[in-house]
Amino acid sequence: MRRLSLTLLAAGLLAGGIASAATTIPAAAVTTAEQLRDRAMHDDTAYRIVSSLTTEVGPRLAGSEADLRARQWALAKFKALGFDKVYTEPVTFPLWQRRSESGAIVAPFPQPLVLTALGYSPGTPAGGLTAQVVKFAGLDALKAAAPASVKGKIVYVDYQMHRQKDGHDYGMGSAVRTAGAVIAAAKGAAGYLLRSAGTDVHQRIAHTGVTGFRDPRARAIPAAALSNPDADQLDRVLAYGKPVTVRMNLDCGIVGEYTGANVIGEITGRKHPDQVVAIGGHLDSWDPGTGAIDDGAGIAITMAAAKLIRDLPQRPDRTIRVIAFANEEMGLWGSRAYAEKHAGEVGKFVLGTDSDFGAGRIWRMSASVQPSARAAIGQIAKVLAPLGVAYDATRPGGGGSDLSRMHAKGMAALTLTQDGTHYFDWHHTANDTLDKIDPQDLAQNVAVYAAWVYMAAQADGDFGSAPGAFAGDGAGE
């Protein structure tokens, strides 16, 4: 993937040398972007937005009553911030509900376990599912297991994530949750448990998240995550060498279909209203927390950045579109619906990325653009450098999580990597609350977005968006 990117980069530099139509950011726009950047560092709009969302709406699981309230909140907030155009686009998805959940070691040492049901998990029978536990150290061990060894049992996968600035352990952590449950079910397991995909090793708080059971071909079984200390306890109990029986009691499941919506606010472009710089986050959250870092922060950062640009003496040349996506958590439903609907206009999406990795400072930028736009990306990088953002020209830009779907259709995209050292301490838990957000770190994110979004909106020339333009760039893989 890295080698491929270097090849692309080399090709880009070469093409840039030959072609004369290089995209550039006018000097006046660079100056304004620098002012926006500096203004954002002293602006608390984003913090007020995320405080409002997490306090007034709180948890907003996709399809819940609070999901509707969150959409009403977003519509009202876009309008209050002075966006020129505010509208919704419907998104339909399976409606999964969590009603109650508990767990316990039944034998040999009876005691409760802190666990949480995973997205799309079916419920257990009334009275719970009680079965022997069979433990695997990781996904490979589970894949290699003979079906007879897991049939009728509760499979438990004990993979421990560690803190990383770029959060890369979540690749395996989320695979254990999504694919692990599906593999265990396919082998005939009665239930599935994992050590939470989280780095808060001393907190008795379980991390929820989606399974792969969305796939209608998958056999679905009750699936839940144990908190890290509960996984430690289960490990200790298993180490006594006696058969260990666990009861999972999950009242949850898919109860039908729901139609929510992506909520969209725009600052209309003065010269090219049909050309769009696309940013955003997702409006839904998991239900145990209040969705502050995931993804109230992303909503707030992008709304606040657009608002700063809106407050300039005149509108930017291109339209700035902030998309509050529906139901990211249970499978990018809003994002996929958006990309399907707007694939035909992908050439009009000049540049985009969304914010969905918490509220830590942005420390790295990369881009997937056509070679003729590399110099303009370099101009953006120069404006962002004083914020501590390093430009890595060897990596592709994937467009974030939700806008990755538009990038896959051909939208030129950035990746703005946030410091995720503590993100997985709180991700998908009750602990995803406002106190985890540092207002200054949040403001740095706004500064980054305000600057690059404005420069992209004012650029002379484009960044290469076109149907299928970035197929195989390695981003989003």
**Interface residues with a copy of itself (CB under 8 A)?**
51, 55-59, 66, 109-112, 114, 201-205, 229, 232-233, 236-237, 289-290, 429-431, 433-436
* Residue closer to a copy of itself, measured from CB, 66 or 182: 66
Element (H, E) at 142: helix 139-144
* Residue closer to a copy of itself, measured from CB, 209 or 288: 288
* Residue closer to a copy of itself, measured from CB, 69 or 219: 69
- Rounded to a whole number of angstroms, the minimum distance from the CB of residue 435 to a copy of itself is 6
User: Please, what is the Cα angle at 438 between 432 and 442, to 5 degrees?
Assistant: 95
443-465 burial, b at 16+ Cβ within 10 Å, e below that, comes to bbbbbbbbbbbbbbbbbebbbbb
* Residue closer to a copy of itself, measured from CB, 202 or 341: 202
Separation CA 350–CA 348 (nearest Å): 6
- Rounded to a whole number of angstroms, the minimum distance from the CB of residue 429 to a copy of itself is 8
Separation CA 137–CA 235 (nearest Å): 11
- Rounded to a whole number of angstroms, the minimum distance from the CB of residue 274 to a copy of itself is 39
* Residue closer to a copy of itself, measured from CB, 281 or 289: 289
Instruction: Give the closest residue to 297 by CA, choosing from 443, 421, 431.
Output: 443
- Rounded to a whole number of angstroms, the minimum distance from the CB of residue 437 to a copy of itself is 11
Separation CA 178–CA 160 (nearest Å): 15
- Rounded to a whole number of angstroms, the minimum distance from the CB of residue 151 to a copy of itself is 28
* Residue closer to a copy of itself, measured from CB, 151 or 204: 204
- What is the separation, in whole angstroms, between the first and last Cα of the chain? 9
* Residue closer to a copy of itself, measured from CB, 34 or 232: 232
5-23 burial, b at 16+ Cβ within 10 Å, e below that, comes to beebbeebeeebeeeeebb
- Rounded to a whole number of angstroms, the minimum distance from the CB of residue 111 to a copy of itself is 3
- Rounded to a whole number of angstroms, the minimum distance from the CB of residue 224 to a copy of itself is 16
- Rounded to a whole number of angstroms, the minimum distance from the CB of residue 132 to a copy of itself is 18
Q: Are strands 223-226 and 115-117 parallel, antiparallel or unpaired?
A: antiparallel
Separation CA 240–CA 416 (nearest Å): 47
CA-derived radius of gyration, the chain: 23
> CB of 81 within 8 A of CB of 250?
no
- Rounded to a whole number of angstroms, the minimum distance from the CB of residue 73 to a copy of itself is 10
Query: Which residues fall within 8 angstroms of residue 435, CB to CB, at 6 or more apart?
Result: 292
* Residue closer to a copy of itself, measured from CB, 45 or 211: 45
Enter the tokens of residue 449. 């977005």
* Residue closer to a copy of itself, measured from CB, 339 or 434: 434
* Residue closer to a copy of itself, measured from CB, 98 or 214: 98
Enter the tokens of residue 473. 């760039």
- Rounded to a whole number of angstroms, the minimum distance from the CB of residue 410 to a copy of itself is 40
> CB of 315 within 8 A of CB of 85?
no
User: Please, what is the Cα angle at 63 between 57 and 64, to 5 degrees?
Assistant: 45
